[in-house]
Amino acid sequence: RRMADDDQQWKVPPNVQELAAAGPEEPPSRYVVRDHDRPALAGAGGDVTDPIPVVDLGRLSCGDADEAAKLQSALQTWGLFLAVGHGIEPGLLGEMMAVTRDFFNLPLEEKQRYTNLVGDKREYRIEGYGGDMVLSETQVLDWCDRFYLIVDPESRRLHDLWPTRPPSFRDVLHRYSARCRELAGAAGLPEEGRLADMLDEKAVTYVRLNCYPPCPRPDRVLGFRPHSDGGVLTVLLAETAGLQVLRDGEWHDVPVVPGALVVNLGDVVEVVSNGVLRSPVHRVVASAERGRVSVAAFYTVDPEREVEPAPELVSEERPRRYEKTKKSGDYVRELLESLARGERAIDKVKLV
């Protein structure tokens, strides 16, 4: 069907899996990042004296002081950690990865039944299958296809967007997201994070399935541009390397530990903690040899809630560093628009 405005065709990003399958020698120009943003292919950040910590949530829940100290240090220096002892069965992690791969391997027409571009004008919405929010013809696109769904509260699920193929998709995602929510609630954030107060019954959880196909020139593209997450925290399941985190101006590879989940903080925690805890900037690099799929669960606060530093964390020694954010639902939308412009939404509420 012809678009309502042919001159708006640039708003519809190509399907990256289809591009990759065509076997180009070079990625299309819309995906080529600026020279100073190009990833180094030799891996990143080999020489750190304190690697990204692996935290055992089982020990943490039993009051292990060493584990608690390790977590506090991780969240202040890296803003993320690798979670083991989380209690999610390896079989369920494997099922979640399998249905994610199976979904992305469906024919394109099947996947486009769940498109994130709606109506005659193909307006972008967060939920659904597709690519980036595109705001300009010159915007550099990510080498990635993705599929967003709201999983909590269940009353907000758009069941028409939950795939019927593969047949086990709905059941596996339902079970995985329930177990992930337990993990998020038990992640043991330090008191500054105010986690229990934020993840109430009105809090919204998004799941994003990501597909990063192989790229003939991984040095010229990014699977996902540098960004921080806008919510409270994110739980990531991935079996393949590619995630990198920015620390002190340098990119560092996040290692893949079998059975571990990557847990990182979002902007909400950085604001509420008045900057004591960090919302890390991270990105995904592409690979020439292999594709990568991942599953990210984003825990956000009540969409009607505004966020600001906790009063007891503001003092003469540590002045207020952030003003009040927009309502959370609006902030998530602004986050995606900022991402399209290569900016960070949190910078707009920073005071110093």
d(CA 314, CA 127): 37
Of 189, 151, 201, 177, which is closest to residue 305 (Cα–Cα)?
Answer: 201
Of 222, 196, 186, which is closest to residue 30 (Cα–Cα)?
Answer: 222
Report H helices in the chain. Answer: 16-21, 57-61, 65-77, 90-104, 108-111, 169-185, 195-198, 267-272, 328-340
d(CA 147, CA 209): 5
Contact 116, 124 (CB under 8 A): yes
- Can you say whether the dihedral through the CA atoms of 297, 344, 115, 98 is positive or negative? negative
Q: Cβ atoms within 10 A of the Cβ of 138, count?
A: 7
Taking phi first (over 0 means left), then psi (-120 to 50 degrees means alpha), and beta for anything else, what does residue 257 get?
beta
CATH number among 2.60.120.330, 3.40.50.300, 2.60.40.1840, 3.40.1210.10, domain 50-349: 2.60.120.330
pLDDT recorded at residue 194? 64
DSSP 313-345: G--SSS---B-PPPPHHHHHHHHHHHHHTT--G
Read off the pLDDT of residues 194-230 as tens digits, 9 standing for 90 and up.
666 788 888 999 999 999 999 999 999 999 999 999 9
Note the pTM of the prediction, 2 decimals. Answer: 0.93
pLDDT recorded at residue 281? 95
> Could you tell me the residue ranges of all domains in the chain?
50-349
265 HSE (CA, 13 A, CB side): 29
pLDDT recorded at residue 144? 97
Q: How many DSSP H helices and E strands does the chain contain?
A: 9, 14
Of 167, 136, 194, 199, which is closest to residue 311 (Cα–Cα)?
Answer: 194
DSSP code of residue 209: E
d(CA 85, CA 141): 37
Contact 221, 143 (CB under 8 A): yes
Q: Cβ atoms within 10 A of the Cβ of 184, count?
A: 21
Contact 267, 281 (CB under 8 A): no
Residue type at position 280: P
pLDDT recorded at residue 6? 54
* pLDDT under 70: residue ranges of the chain: 1-8, 41-49, 187-196, 352
